[in-house]
Structure 1
């Protein structure tokens, strides 16, 4: 399976906007006397953050009277920025869109507070208001010109707009702040978004040499991908990097794999294809890797060399049926031709494999955000369905949406359904805002974390499935980015033929 280290490590960068502040535990309310006492104490000192916390905790962050109480205080003390800031911050930390009203009021009073503008920047991002988020980020940068994190956030924001501009700003940042942790992640994304493999290798090599993988997670992710690229062209170099990078876990697996590839090459050079095939079949791949296709194709090559062309064809067909790529299909067509199978027969063989691995999807019946009615899986029969479990604050989820949309746009609504199930009800209020501003076309449905675990056997987000026209899951637990967008297209187009 192709790994997307990039999607997982996105959680660590400033752009991703995770919140670490401690939240009030109680969703409230407390006993009336406790609320009254907390209110009396707070009204004696509105600048005391601890007293705001005590009152909000007593009321409960979702108490319907909480906003109106703060609006009343704001009217009574119009020059005190601490009042709207307190509630705005708590709403923000609770990932609630109500934060904006109070943060904007606080910014109106205290426009030089960079932290307020930064929270508004985050809020706008979650709503899908990217242009407005840029405005707020600029205000944060102007309010605190010394904050390196804001400068890094600005550079991250360029990543999906203009790669060349992003790259130039990121390299300038690296030269100016080489010791800052953002330099590590920025260099990682220069390589991750590179337009060619040669450029990717160049920047991942630089990352590997400047920032040891043992100390920096971004460098570790990049180095693993770098090793997997070298496995395909220069396994000796891959082994040398592995030996310097780590000894446990994935590094240990990669070391054995590199050693196996080196030995396999030697056996191939001596035309001992049988033992080369035996050696490579011993190889174990890391769970997350960038070399799956290559190993499958190498194994099939050796099978063919030993006279087992049918087995070579079958091995590639099995892999293509589960995770299709153009590279695999080229190999499949090559071996298919050798054993007399044309494109139509190949398609039938792939369909047969997919029919065997397909399992019925849970027949969901979930509420829509766009209407006061439900959508059933049964309503989608006859279409191929891309189903993703997500929630608005999920950065890896949002990172996939542009690539999903690129693929969905290649098919008609009559052929393909695109469904996004929010599994975090506390963020319901953000769903419609996000869809309106981002203009992604998925059908938004309501659910819970328990729903995806009980009925689809997964937890967390994103979790993705492709369901065929008969309501069966054929593809699951995959992630999509700029490198494998084509895989999703092949998944859908393949199921449309069945």
Structure 2
């Protein structure tokens, strides 16, 4: 929430900073009539004497943001006495805008719901402050109040039309309203703020979420043109995706882009990869499929790539061409078992027919691969937000469980929910249960609002990051699992968006069919 386009690592850093009571407190020791000085970082809450000193400094200068921050973090954001104290200061100093703005900002940065009332109080005293409206927009987004978030975002932009951050956030908030208008707003932002990194983020997002390959290429090429990859991180990330698209569609363009990117990071691997693919295509053209397959098998792949199905199908094709249909079939079984797609399944059916494997046998072969890697899910017992006791995993025996670990301030988590909902609603199976475990208790208060405002259907449960890490190995959110009817984890560590929503559907359907 504190970044316009939060990613998993940013969300995780914020969560860790404010998970439980504030673990790292900066204590500034103030002395009468002298400048304050910062002392080393201290773990744990401040002493009563330190809190009293910090409070005295604030009351001696209520306009000092620095003094307020010392007191806030000395007392602790989770301490209910903090809200009571600021309520009194605001009541006794009704025209002082620094007081509500500072405490509201502290809660906002911690992604805690207490931010709203103080920020609203500040907005009444300083209605033309774009920062206040920007934070209120983020707070409304975290609560799932989409329309209110847009309204506040617009007010932020009106208050400061030259602020690229506010404008970018308003553009991004219009994404779900109208695709055509959103695209025009993105391109207008690029023209207005040509050197601002948010333009690269917007174009990257536009390209990534475009469904047609030619649209993806178009937007990634604009990203490459207007935001040099060596200068903008998001553009550099976009070039990875564009390179992998070209590796599958146009090796000449792939070579041009990859050579332009140099040898830094994994670009050296991609350079050797495109050279290898060009040679492999040459071998294929003269029907030297055996050598083509040998060289394809020897290729080194980047750790992160979008080439899984492309290369798997290519390997299977070469195996088939040299008469090793069974090996082609076996190689694709493993790929499909881990991450199913219709394209790979169609190839499997074709190869299966040629070696005498019917559809039932094919599905059994896939199940065998999945069984080998299945592990028992930890038998959790977690509290419900409805107040109706706890939900145990054992209560769900005989059902397929889609389990996601998330928290309200996590943008990537929230971005996945609509795709999960679409699949769950499409399948509408009584044996499918959708569960979301919030791992940040400090944001518990906004979970019911998010559920109501967005009409999400998952069962929200109370958790902690420590629980998720210890029992499910979750290091950052979102993290997703599919648990079969016998309580085993079959699929893990997958992410879903509009490009692979069908994969989630295939995963779930395969588990629903068990024992039927």
Give the alignment's TM-score, normalised by structure 2.
Answer: 0.89
* Match among 145, 156, 161 for residue 129 of structure 1: 145
- Cα distance in 1 for residues equivalent to 2:452 and 2:231: 41
Contact 2:195 2:227 in 1 (8 A): no
1:18 positional shift: 9.2
1:413 positional shift: 5.1
- Cα distance in 1 for residues equivalent to 2:94 and 2:12: 30
Structure-1 residue corresponding to 2:306: 290
1:37-95 Cα shifts (integer Å, max 9, x gaps):
43333223211112212322333222222212222222222121222122211211222
Structure-2 residue corresponding to 1:234: 250
For the residue of structure 2 that corresponds to 1:208, the secondary structure is helix
Structure 1 pair 33–182 and aligned structure 2 pair: CA distance change class (3 A)? closer
- Cα distance in 1 for residues equivalent to 2:110 and 2:193: 33
Aligned pairs for 1:450-489 (under 5 A) are 450-489=466-505
Contact 1:389 1:422 in 2 (8 A): yes
Question: What CA RMSD, in Å, does the superposition of the two structures yield over aligned residues?
Answer: 2.4
Structure-2 residue corresponding to 1:181: 197
For the residue of structure 1 that corresponds to 2:426, the secondary structure is coil
* Match among 377, 380, 395 for residue 364 of structure 1: 380
Structure-2 residue corresponding to 1:355: 371
- The answer as to 2:294 corresponding to 1:281 is no
The farther-off stretch of 24-33 and 214-223 is 24-33
For the residue of structure 2 that corresponds to 1:61, the secondary structure is coil
Contact 2:58 2:68 in 1 (8 A): yes
For the residue of structure 2 that corresponds to 1:334, the secondary structure is helix
- Cα distance in 1 for residues equivalent to 2:381 and 2:262: 48
1:283-315 Cα shifts (integer Å, max 9, x gaps):
232232111101000000001101011111111
- Cα distance in 1 for residues equivalent to 2:449 and 2:379: 28
Structure-2 residue corresponding to 1:385: 401
Q: Which runs of 5+ in 1 are unaligned?
A: 1-7
- Cα distance in 2 for residues equivalent to 1:28 and 1:279: 58
- The answer as to 2:268 corresponding to 1:252 is yes
The farther-off stretch of 285-294 and 422-431 is 422-431
Structure 1 pair 340–9 and aligned structure 2 pair: CA distance change class (3 A)? farther
1:146 positional shift: 2.2
- Cα distance in 2 for residues equivalent to 1:75 and 1:237: 65
- Cα distance in 1 for residues equivalent to 2:264 and 2:90: 57
1:233-270 Cα shifts (integer Å, max 9, x gaps):
22232122111113133212222221221111111111
- Cα distance in 1 for residues equivalent to 2:329 and 2:112: 53
For the residue of structure 2 that corresponds to 1:120, the secondary structure is helix
For the residue of structure 2 that corresponds to 1:386, the secondary structure is strand
1:162 positional shift: 1.7
- Cα distance in 2 for residues equivalent to 1:92 and 1:463: 24
Contact 2:130 2:157 in 1 (8 A): yes
1:332 positional shift: 0.9
Structure-1 residue corresponding to 2:39: none
- Cα distance in 2 for residues equivalent to 1:19 and 1:358: 33
Contact 1:120 1:133 in 2 (8 A): yes
Structure 1 pair 159–263 and aligned structure 2 pair: CA distance change class (3 A)? same
1:143-194 Cα shifts (integer Å, max 9, x gaps):
2222122111111112232221111111112122212222212222222222
Structure-2 residue corresponding to 1:271: 287
The farther-off stretch of 477-486 and 156-165 is 156-165
- Cα distance in 1 for residues equivalent to 2:335 and 2:370: 11
- Cα distance in 2 for residues equivalent to 1:42 and 1:176: 42
* Match among 5, 11, 16 for residue 6 of structure 2: 11
Q: How many residues align?
A: 489
Structure 1 pair 136–325 and aligned structure 2 pair: CA distance change class (3 A)? same
For the residue of structure 2 that corresponds to 1:418, the secondary structure is strand
Structure-2 residue corresponding to 1:162: 178
For the residue of structure 2 that corresponds to 1:267, the secondary structure is helix
Contact 1:421 1:447 in 2 (8 A): yes
- The answer as to 2:238 corresponding to 1:191 is no
- Cα distance in 2 for residues equivalent to 1:36 and 1:350: 66
For the residue of structure 2 that corresponds to 1:409, the secondary structure is helix
